[in-house]
């Protein structure tokens, strides 16, 4: 990976519980963020992603471990001394100040000359598409515009690292989608590293250079979006990222191929590995196709259809196999006739390519 801007070594943090004992927020995390990288921390509520972000910014003190930013050990530095800025979920704008005053606040405190301050405020507002709105108050802006003000305020100090704590969560769906692209473009233009916290899988997959999936204060996997999705290292990552069909069983190999046989008797064909033993086979819903007769390259599962849901570009088919195992498949909306026929008959044959089946052998990481 490129030269790192952030390096965490053995970051550990626990919080006491009211009823006694403690909960582990960070279980000894080692992590590097490259220069000019967009890294997303992804995971369920309580997984440690916000604690990790606040540890980097200095708002949370580690119990043990070290934090380095741009080659300097900042573990014991207060937040205002660290070369990072944070954009919070609620934006934290001063309601009595104008947009320009909010954006230039840090420069004003630092004693930057008025002419230089005005120049940099105008430049920052231009970067986030708010040129000409400097005299407005925050309440006179939309939610998306307020988010951009918070971004402008964060980047005006020219930090080496920008931390973003679920900044899009308060926006509606369409605006969130637009802001994802704007954020990614802005990160590229600024040439600085972003560490972005979210629980939204789509945000993580569309915006990131790499994703760190956390659970229970432990990094389960850190990798590129396509590998996180297509090559999850354990069942937690496979289940958390996107919809998944997981078949736990035993891998059997022979001269004619390989298959995973479940305890219920389902057989999932896969690429030959020459190995045997307990594994979990992963098939994503979109890897299934409706077939009356499977092509030679495909294997298939005969299922009964419980429900068909139309979601615009695809149909979601909720099914179960003869053994009772729940299966979800997605079929393009262009195949409506085949879907309607299968829905009427209440049964279907789901074809899949054995070469696309991903085998998981690793156990989920624990603190």
* pLDDT recorded at residue 292: 57
Quick: pLDDT tens for 292-338: 544 545 689 999 999 999 999 999 999 999 889 999 999 999 999 99
Q: Look at residue 295 in the predicted model and tell me its pLDDT.
A: 52
- The reply to whether CATH 1.10.357.10 applies to domain 4-239 is no
Q: Is the pLDDT of residue 208 over 70?
A: yes
> Would strands 193-198 and 161-165 be described as parallel, antiparallel, or unpaired?
parallel
> Using CA atoms, how far apart are residues 296 and 276, in angstroms rounded to an integer?
24
Cα separation of 267 and 75, whole Å? Answer: 52
More confident residue, 276 or 248: 248
Task: Read off the pLDDT of residues 52-76 as tens digits, 9 standing for 90 and up.
Answer: 999 999 999 999 999 999 999 999 9
The H or E element spanning position 143 is: helix 143-155
257-262/277-283 β-pairing: unpaired
Q: What angle do CA 60, 50, 92 make, to 5 degrees?
A: 85
282: exposed, middle or buried (Cβ count in 10 Å: 0-12, 13-18, 19+): buried
For the chain, which residues make up each domain, given as ranges? 4-239, 243-360
**pLDDT tens column, 94-133:** 889 999 989 988 888 878 888 888 898 988 888 888 888 8
Single pTM value for the model: 0.88
Specify the DSSP class assigned to residue 137: -
Percent over 70 (pLDDT), the chain: 97
Helix extents (H) in 60-142: 99-103, 105-109, 114-127
């Amino acid at each position: 990976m490129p030269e790192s801007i952030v390096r965490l070594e053995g970051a550990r943090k626990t919080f006491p519980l009211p009823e006694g004992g403690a909960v582990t927020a960070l279980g000894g995390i080692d992590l590097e963020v490259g220069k000019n990288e967009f890294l997303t921390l992804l995971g369920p509520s309580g997984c440690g992603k916000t604690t990790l972000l606040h540890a980097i910014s200095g708002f949370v003190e580690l119990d043990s471990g070290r934090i380095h930013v741009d080659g300097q050990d900042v573990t014991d530095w207060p937040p205002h001394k660290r070369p990072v800025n944070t954009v919070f979920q609620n934006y934290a704008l001063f309601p009595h100040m104008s947009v320009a005053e909010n954006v230039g606040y840090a420069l004003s405190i630092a004693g930057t000359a008025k002419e230089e301050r005005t120049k940099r405020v105008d430049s920052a507002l231009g970067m986030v598409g708010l040129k000409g709105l400097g005299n407005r108050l925050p309440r006179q802006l939309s939610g998306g515009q307020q988010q951009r003000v918070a971004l402008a305020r964060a980047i005006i100090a020219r930090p080496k690292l920008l931390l973003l704590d679920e900044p899009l969560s308060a926006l509606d769906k369409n605006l969130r989608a637009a802001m994802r692209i704007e954020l990614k473009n802005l990160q590229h233009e600024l040439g600085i590293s972003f560490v972005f916290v979210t629980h939204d899988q789509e945000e993580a997959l569309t915006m990131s250079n790499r994703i760190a999936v956390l659970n229970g204060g432990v990094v389960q996997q850190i990798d590129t979006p396509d590998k996180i999705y297509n090559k999850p290292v354990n069942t937690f990552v496979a289940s958390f990222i996107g919809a998944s069909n997981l078949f736990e069983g035993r891998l059997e190999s022979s001269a004619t191929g390989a298959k995973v046989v479940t305890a219920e008797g389902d057989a999932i064909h896969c690429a030959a590995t020459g190995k045997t033993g307990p594994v979990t086979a992963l098939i994503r819903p979109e890897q299934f196709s409706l077939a009356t007769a499977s092509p030679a390259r495909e294997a298939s599962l005969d299922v009964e259809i419980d429900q068909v849901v139309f979601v615009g570009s695809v149909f979601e088919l909720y099914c179960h196999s003869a053994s009772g195992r729940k299966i979800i498949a997605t079929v393009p909306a262009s195949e409506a006739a085949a879907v309607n026929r299968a829905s009427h008959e209440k049964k279907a044959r789901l074809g899949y390519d054995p070469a696309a089946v991903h085998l998981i052998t690793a156990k989920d990481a624990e603190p």
